[in-house]
């Protein structure tokens, strides 16, 4: 993947390549989106004299032509607020719009309508803020000629082309806090506490929160587990006088040779599968086989809620600045990215090619094993 640092400009007098940009926040929301929106607005208007149009509710607003020219009143006070003032949707895809025809649901490509809505609104380029689904849509729009700059976000941290996505740190803070808190009640009642966290098919949240929150067992999608190994560790803790255990399980974790637990399907969505439920199944198994009282906490959308962490705010601000500078310099078809301590950009087409998973042989898993964490393998 070719990386580059973009041409930096802080000159208000430089004539930008485009004068009106649109911004869309799509996919599952996460803390830090408002920091990006504010950053894009302030940089675009203050540094380049551009106008910014906010698109409502993800790509739903692009399809339905619901957009508004942003003013300072839209971004005032939003930096510490979670969610997105523009609204978001993780089911609206311009290339696959559900429509009823003669009583039957069919899917239609409305991407041309989106392009003509943008044209009508005078939007010359789009800043698309999202995870892998949103970035794929943005890439397809770019292939149709739209000028696009993408900004990666997701609590799952599963995008290949950036070291970290914003939203992840805030989710980790919530999940770590939960793992910390569960220790006291687990200890009082001599129980196993199972904490199920989000992350889809990647174990970043489970691994991070488990490690930071002192979990005894961490179960992640990348390391299929054996139930016997889980029981064995809980039993050996009891035998050594530690009468409680904390298990952090990623929603996408699965037993060796088994499948993920699917909570529901949302057919209209780009990725219809919603994972969830492994925590309850696992808890039943442990309680039954180890004969120890077990309870489950499913953290769910708390991980996407609340105020962004300072790290996510700063990353969001830096991403927003970089995205606008790319647009002003006429560098489209790119995604901003964090590499080490630097903000760089990569081709959007490369960025959507694959997701990023925890390396079972990597440094984080190594460190966790070194301090006695078990992965059930
Ligand atoms: O991708 C972010 C995420 O929060 C995942 O971790 C989770 O599996 C999914 O979205 C939940 O989606 P929804 O908001 O549709 O329930």
- Confidence category of residue 205, pLDDT binned at 50, 70, 90: very high
State the Cα torsion 203-208-211-213 to the nearest 10°: -120
- Residue 34: pLDDT above 80? yes
pTM value? Answer: 0.95
State whether 158 and 188 are in the same domain. Answer: no
Number of domains in the chain: 2
Provide the domain limits for residue 79. 9-166+308-351
Residues 17 and 83 in one domain: yes
**Quick one: 124 and 157 in the same domain?**
yes
Both 67 and 86 in one domain: the answer is yes
Grade residue 11 by pLDDT with cuts at 50, 70 and 90: very low
Q: Residue 293 is encoded by which pair of tokens?
A: 């009282």
Cα 177 to ligand 1 centre (Å): 20
pLDDT in tens, 136-194: 999 999 999 999 999 999 999 999 999 999 999 999 999 999 999 999 999 999 999 99
Residue 2 binned pLDDT confidence (cut-offs 50, 70, 90): low
Pocket flag, ligand 1, residue 154 (CB < 6 Å): yes
In the predicted model, what is the mean pLDDT of residues 292-313? 98
Q: How many A from CA of 368 to the centre of ligand 1?
A: 26
What number is the average pLDDT over the span 1-11? Answer: 55
Active site residue 14: no
pLDDT of 7 over the 70 cut: no
- Residues 249, 324, single domain; the answer is no
pLDDT, position 9? 47
Residue 248 in this model has a pLDDT that exceeds 60: yes
Name residue, tokens 């408002």: 34
10 Å CB burial of residue 68 (0-12, 13-18, 19+) is middle
Ligand 1 lined by 155 (C-beta under 6 Å): yes
Q: Is 298 in the pocket of ligand 1 (CB under 6 A)?
A: no
d(CA 191, CA 186): 5
85 close to 78: Cβ distance less than 8 angstroms:
yes
Determine the length of the chain.
Answer: 377
Q: Whose CA is nearest to atom 8 of ligand 1?
A: 200
pLDDT digits (tens, 9 = 90+) for 116-143: 999 999 999 999 999 999 999 999 999 9
Ligand 1, closest atom to CA 251? 8
Query: What is the 28 CA–ligand 1 centroid distance (Å)?
Result: 6
Q: Judge if 120 and 54 occupy the same domain.
A: yes
């Amino acid at each position: 993947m070719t990386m580059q640092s973009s041409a930096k400009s802080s000159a208000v007098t430089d004539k930008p390549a485009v004068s009106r940009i649109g911004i869309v926040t799509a996919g599952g929301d996460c803390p830090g989106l408002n920091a990006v929106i504010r950053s894009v607005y302030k940089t675009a208007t203050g540094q380049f004299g551009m106008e910014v149009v906010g698109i409502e509710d993800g790509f739903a607003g692009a399809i339905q032509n619901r957009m508004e020219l942003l003013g300072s009143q839209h971004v005032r006070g939003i930096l510490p607020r979670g969610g997105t003032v523009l609204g978001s949707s993780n089911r609206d895809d311009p290339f696959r719009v559900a429509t009823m025809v003669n009583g039957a649901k069919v899917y239609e490509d409305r991407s041309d309508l989106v392009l003509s809505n943008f044209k009508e609104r005078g939007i010359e380029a789009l800043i698309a803020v999202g995870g892998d689904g949103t970035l794929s849509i943005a890439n397809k729009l770019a292939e149709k000629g739209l000028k696009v700059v993408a900004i990666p976000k997701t609590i799952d941290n599963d995008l290949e082309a950036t070291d970290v996505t914003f939203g992840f740190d805030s989710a980790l803070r919530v999940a770590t806090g939960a793992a910390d808190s569960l220790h006291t009640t687990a200890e009082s009642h001599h129980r196993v506490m199972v904490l199920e966290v989000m992350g889809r098919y990647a174990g970043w949240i489970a691994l991070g929160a488990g490690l930071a929150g002192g979990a005894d067992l961490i179960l992640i999608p990348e390391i299929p587990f054996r139930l016997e190994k889980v029981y064995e560790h809980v039993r050996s803790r009891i035998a050594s006088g530690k009468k409680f255990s904390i298990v952090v399980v990623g929603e996408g974790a699965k037993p060796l040779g088994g499948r993920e637990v699917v909570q529901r399907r949302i057919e209209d969505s780009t990725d219809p599968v919603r994972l969830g439920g492994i925590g309850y199944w696992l808890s039943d198994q442990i309680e039954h086989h180890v004969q120890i009282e077990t309870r489950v906490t499913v953290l769910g959308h708390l991980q996407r809620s609340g105020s962004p962490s300072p790290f996510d705010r700063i990353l969001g601000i830096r991403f927003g600045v970089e995205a606008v500078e790319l647009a002003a310099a006429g560098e489209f078809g790119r995604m901003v990215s964090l590499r080490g301590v630097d903000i760089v950009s990569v081709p959007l087409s490369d960025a959507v090619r694959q997701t990023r998973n925890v390396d079972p042989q990597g440094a984080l898993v190594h460190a966790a094993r070194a301090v006695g964490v078990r992965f059930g393998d």
